[in-house]
Structure 1
């Protein structure tokens, strides 16, 4: 009796190697897009919940919604370009750092809910940056 084992080889720079990267970009686009639309369309209630200005939330919501569309465009490519993906990773890392800094240095003055929410969303964004970086390394070597 013989057993055949198929060995799956994933070559760097192929769509198969880009699977994890595409997944993490897609998840980022969905979460960021949802967050952006909530800030944009429900700025008043969210502003009251977090004790942040609704105008500020509309600006953030607009940015996040447009950004999510750009990330989604990358996510649907069979092999997302390395340079564009690096920009997404860097923007995510900067967003996470700026969010933490905004609370620590008092650039924003949210209530307790906002003070908890801002670092939590920063951790999610930082997590996306790490996962996307790993996916980029796997996809492009």
Structure 2
């Protein structure tokens, strides 16, 4: 079950902590690959390396923040809501990227954007469920 930790806005929930850690692993892995192989990915997926470098750097920083958050004794409810909002923004930006045609994506590029949006939506659903269990 759920236990309320010290201050009024922190919670300790297994599902939320698990979802944050999984999100960190996925985000960190993608970030490292984007930074290390931006030129290769750019050609394979139709995404410019100049776009992938900052996205990769953001994902690495985001993953580090998620790991730090998940490792604390109590998870800040407002911070967890911010993580959920960032993930929702990622999914929305993915849809916008596809609909607006910002880049000349290859078939693999379209599949990558869709797959990432689905995975991030799954992390978001788990995080939301974990947060709801703390109420």
Change (3 A) 1:127 1:48: same
Equivalent pair of 1:21/1:135 in contact (CA under 8 Å): yes
Distance 1:110 1:76, change over 3 A: same
- Deviation, 1:111, is 0.8
Give the direction of change, closer, same or farther, for the CA distance of 1:16–1:89 in structure 2 (3 Å limit): closer
Q: Is the 8 A contact 2:12 2:73 kept in 1?
A: no
- Determine the structure 2 residue equivalent to 1:115: 110
Aligned length: 131
The structure-2 alpha-carbon separation of the partners of 1:102 and 1:16, relative to structure 1 and needing over 3 Å to count, comes to closer
More strand by share: 2
Counterpart in the other structure of 1:138: 133
Structure 1: runs of 5+ lacking an equivalent? 1-9
- Backbone CA RMSD of aligned residues: 1.6
TM-score, normalised relative to structure 1: 0.87
TM-score by length of 2: 0.91
Match of 2:74 in 1: 79
Does the 8 Å contact 1:89/1:129 carry over to 2? yes
**Partner in structure 2 of residue 33 of structure 1:** 28
Moved over 6 A (4+): none
Q: 2: distance between equivalents of 1:85 and 1:49? A: 34
Q: Distance in 1 between matches of 2:101 and 2:58?
A: 22
| 1:17 CA drift (Å) | 5.2
**Following TM superposition, by how much is the alpha carbon of 1:78 offset from its aligned partner in structure 2, in angstroms?**
2.5
Corresponding residue for residue 91 of structure 2: 96
CA distance in 2, matches of 1:92, 1:16: 20
The higher radius of gyration belongs to 1
